[in-house]
Amino acid sequence: MEDLGARIRQAASNAVDARGLSQRSGLSTGFLSQVERGQSTLSIVSLSAICRALDLRIETLFSSDRPLSERPLS
């Protein structure tokens, strides 16, 4: 599975630029950039704010088309 930061980056690129996501979510552009690059972790509160800003359900970021048996463990 792609990492969470990459999935957020992909979802955001279809909807809003970095400044817009920052304004909508209330999170700094620097923090969002770190998350997208995998250099910072998200709290559930921050993840929820990002998903609200993108009008996206949280579980969408964790879903995969592949069955569990075909997914890597890490």
Express each pLDDT in 8-54 by its tens digit.
888 888 778 889 999 999 999 999 999 988 899 899 999 999 999 99
* Element (DSSP H or E) covering residue 45: helix 44-54
Q: How confident is residue 2, by pLDDT bands cut at 50, 70 and 90?
A: low
pLDDT of res. 30: 95
| Residues 62, 26: Cα–Cα separation, whole Å | 22
Q: What is the pTM of this model?
A: 0.78
